[in-house]
Amino acid sequence: MPTHQAVQVESTGGPLGLVEVQTTSPGRDHVRIDVAACGVCGTDRAIINGAFPGTAFPLTPGHEIAGTIAEVGEGVEGFTVGDRVAVRVTKSLRRPRTTFAMFETAGETSNRLEAT
């Protein structure tokens, strides 16, 4: 199985560390992105430090991502391998089990809703 490097935190409040992780194929309605750049901000710091109970560790922080679509899962429409995208992922306080991902590609913005 292919692998890639990721920066992860092993547990709440832990240090950032570079690790090798398995690269998995995207599931239905998901895409895999080769990340070219990823912002790690104050929200990520709060998540690392336990501000969002129920956060699963190990955790790869970063929710503002730019890269290229590397693989497209079943049911995905409007994106193809090679599309350059910018993604902002956020949680809804009203629907905490839902992650919203906003994709921008070729100057167009579309909202995607993904259940996690």
Contacts with Zn ion, residue ranges (CB under 5 A): 41, 43
Quote the least distance from Cβ 64 to Zn ion, whole Å. Answer: 5
The single-letter code of the amino acid at 24 is: T
Quote the least distance from Cβ 102 to Zn ion, whole Å. Answer: 12
91 or 112, CB closer to Zn ion? 91
Quote the least distance from Cβ 88 to Zn ion, whole Å. Answer: 8
Pull the structure tokens for residue 116. 């996690």
38 or 72, CB closer to Zn ion? 38
82 vs 104: CA distance, rounded Å: 14
35 vs 40: CA distance, rounded Å: 13
